[in-house]
Structure 1
Amino acid sequence: MASSINTNIAAMTALQSLNQTNKEMLVTQNRVSTGYRVADASDNAAYWSIATTMRGDRSSLSTVLDALGLGSATAEIAAKGIESAIEVAGKLKDKLLAARTPGVDRTKIQSEIKELQDSLKSIVNGATFNGQNWLTGDSGANTTTRTLVSSFSRAADGSIEIGTITVDLDDLRLIDTAGSSGSVSGILNTSVTSSSSASSAYTVLTLDISAFTDDTDDLAAIVHMMETVDTAIDKMTDAATSLGAVKTRIDIQRDFAKSLIDAIDTGVGQLVDADMNEESTRLQALQVRQQLGVQALGIANQSAQQILRLFQ
């Protein structure tokens, strides 16, 4: 090969090789520093697009998980409220049973019943979480249900679907704040007519035996009051069962959402994460190539100096 002082082919070749090595080192160093094999669209447009969409879906699932957490907490508070109300109602029935005994001081028993009734009201009003109370409300309102976001999914065509869990508050309402006592549907303040006397009707929250005597009719009325409380306990037990089913479904959806989030994280990682073992090995090899390239370029530049000897 002819020697030229204008064109040093060996140096040009060595320089091109060194520049290519430097570019590859830059890519590898970026992967090592960020942990991503595909950090932006220029690295791999298809993978980056898929990963970006999946990250957006993961964020939505995380929001769904938060919503399910709120729903689960609200259902838990309502369930505890019903359980406490059932316990207090049981004590109220015991007081009525004691009042059925001839000769007892029903005025004092009524004072205890009044305290239990106030406790029931406090329990129902206190079963509130995040401003939501499923145990009391107006049955005449337009909305007597609660819809909880339960899932988020993306179809093959890119459209999204939102799943929901519907809670019917009419099945859970213990105290209805609507209308008069004859039109309400709350378990504790709905009038229950006596099976033996259609003219007698009571509600759990308005029972009053303070004026009762040992008269046969009064004793029969006390028995009916006990039936009223017992009916309310049965209905509250059904409500607790319904609420328990809702909470179980919420918990299942929460577990499923967590599994989906983990699966998305794994899928995105397989698409865009860098293999650090591979990248560290590649970086060491490129560093050796870079050192050799620098040496090769130095040798190629020195070869041009040999031409000066021809003129000595």
Structure 2
Amino acid sequence: MSSILTNASALTALQSLNATNKNLQVTQGRIATGMRVAEAADNAAYWSIATTMRSDNKANSVVQDALGLGAGKVDTAYTAMNSAINVVDQIKQKVLLAKTSSAADRDRIQTEIGNLQSQLKDNIAGANYAGSNLLQTSSNASAVDKKLTVMTSYNRDSTGAVTTGTIDVDFTNIRLIDTNGATGAAKAGILDKAIGATGSPSILSLKVNGTASQTTATAFDNLLTGIEKALKGMASGAAELGAGKARIDLQKDFVSKLSDSIDRGVGQLVDADMNKESTRLQALQVQQQLGIQALSIANGSSQQILSLFRG
């Protein structure tokens, strides 16, 4: 039936064209954004999961920054500790040489030891990273300042409860100079505390000349014993720093890989397949052109009715 009030063919063609245009708009949006789930309306479940995982990955980015900062501090302290061990080893050699030297030679040796002691102080004072010096700390510091705490992980369970992992480096075993403001026996640094009985010198204050207590073989043996003890403590400190550095490096590598894995997982949920969308775009463009042609033909049928009334 032909009607001038209702053109069923045109309505059908228009509905088909509208559906094609809608699909074309969706495909063009996916190509423009590179995502098939760009908002909750596209797929509420996938969008929610992706949003949560992106948030977690931002936290992992903070963890990576914290690990990088911690690695810098520990690496700086480790380098300075090794340098200090080498200098103390040289001091040990000078003390051993002075044991059987004349008084005049001991004066010259003491000058060399004094230079090495100054070198130790300079090296340790320069071992700063981001305002932190792990080798020069106070034994009277508050609990929070008695160790270096490096955040290593951000953990969220199924209920939303959050915990963080840490790596702690205790200053007690790596402290070379104590900045507690005290003097003498009250010092707790490996290099500034007494290396023998009460009243004996520290590594930074020992002398091989000018004092009666260091004129005997036994006195020199006591100095050498104290130096060996200090070297042992420094070796333990270097080992602790090395272990901390190795663990931080491993965690940095893990967090980096974890972050990449989460990115890939989110991509599988929400990223568009560009090859598929490109093919779909071409098909929809053809459908759109055909739809427009079909609508034009359907609208032309009304004009044909006029021919029935022509004489």
- Give TM-score scaled by structure 2 length: 0.95
* Residues in 1 aligned to 2:29 and 2:167: alpha-carbon distance in whole angstroms: 46
1:182 maps to 185
Q: How far apart are residue 27 of structure 1 and its match?
A: 0.3
Where does 1:264-283 land on structure 2 (aligned, <5 Å)?
264-283=262-281
Query: Does the C-alpha gap of structure 1 residues 216 and 245 become closer, same or farther in structure 2, counting only changes over 3 Å?
Result: closer
5+ residue gaps, structure 1, are none
Q: Secondary structure at the match of 2:230?
A: helix
2:122 maps to 122
Where does 1:186-265 land on structure 2 (aligned, <5 Å)?
186-193=189-196, 201-211=200-210, 217-265=215-263
AA in 1 matched with 2:138: D
Q: How far apart are residue 166 of structure 1 and its match?
A: 1.2
Alpha-carbon contact 1:134-1:172 (below 8 Å) kept? yes
* Residues in 2 aligned to 1:200 and 1:29: alpha-carbon distance in whole angstroms: 83
Alpha-carbon contact 1:212-1:218 (below 8 Å) kept? no
Alignment of 1:109 with 2:112, yes or no, is no
Deviations 1:202-251 (A, max 9, x none): 210111123158x9943332222222222111110010001111111111
Q: How far apart are residue 200 of structure 1 and its match?
A: 6.2
Q: How many equivalent pairs are there?
A: 306
Query: Does the C-alpha gap of structure 1 residues 262 and 245 become closer, same or farther in structure 2, counting only changes over 3 Å?
Result: same
* Residues in 2 aligned to 1:199 and 1:250: alpha-carbon distance in whole angstroms: 39
* Residues in 2 aligned to 1:226 and 1:283: alpha-carbon distance in whole angstroms: 83
Match of 1:301 among 279, 299, 310: 299
Give the CA RMSD over aligned residues. Answer: 1.5
Q: Secondary structure at the match of 1:140?
A: coil
AA in 1 matched with 2:57: R
Deviations 1:176-206 (A, max 9, x none): 122222122110011122xxxx576221011
1:151 maps to 153
AA in 2 matched with 1:147: T
* Residues in 2 aligned to 1:212 and 1:157: alpha-carbon distance in whole angstroms: 70
Alpha-carbon contact 1:106-1:212 (below 8 Å) kept? no
Query: Does the C-alpha gap of structure 1 residues 79 and 216 become closer, same or farther in structure 2, counting only changes over 3 Å?
Result: closer
Deviations 1:32-57 (A, max 9, x none): 01100011111111111111111111
Deviations 1:256-281 (A, max 9, x none): 10111011101110110000111111
Where does 1:70-89 land on structure 2 (aligned, <5 Å)?
70-89=69-88
Please identify, of 79-88 and 215-224, the stretch whose mean Cα deviation from structure 2 is larger: 215-224
Q: Secondary structure at the match of 2:88?
A: helix
1:52 maps to 51
Query: Does the C-alpha gap of structure 1 residues 199 and 133 become closer, same or farther in structure 2, counting only changes over 3 Å?
Result: closer
Please identify, of 53-62 and 199-208, the stretch whose mean Cα deviation from structure 2 is larger: 199-208
Match of 2:282 among 269, 281, 284: 284
Question: Percentage identity across aligned positions?
Answer: 49
5+ residue gaps, structure 2, are none
1:133 maps to 133
* Residues in 2 aligned to 1:273 and 1:7: alpha-carbon distance in whole angstroms: 44
- Give TM-score scaled by structure 1 length: 0.94
1:95 maps to 94
AA in 2 matched with 1:11: A
Alpha-carbon contact 1:75-1:247 (below 8 Å) kept? yes
* Residues in 2 aligned to 1:92 and 1:125: alpha-carbon distance in whole angstroms: 19
AA in 1 matched with 2:271: D
2:172 maps to 170
Alpha-carbon contact 1:68-1:254 (below 8 Å) kept? yes
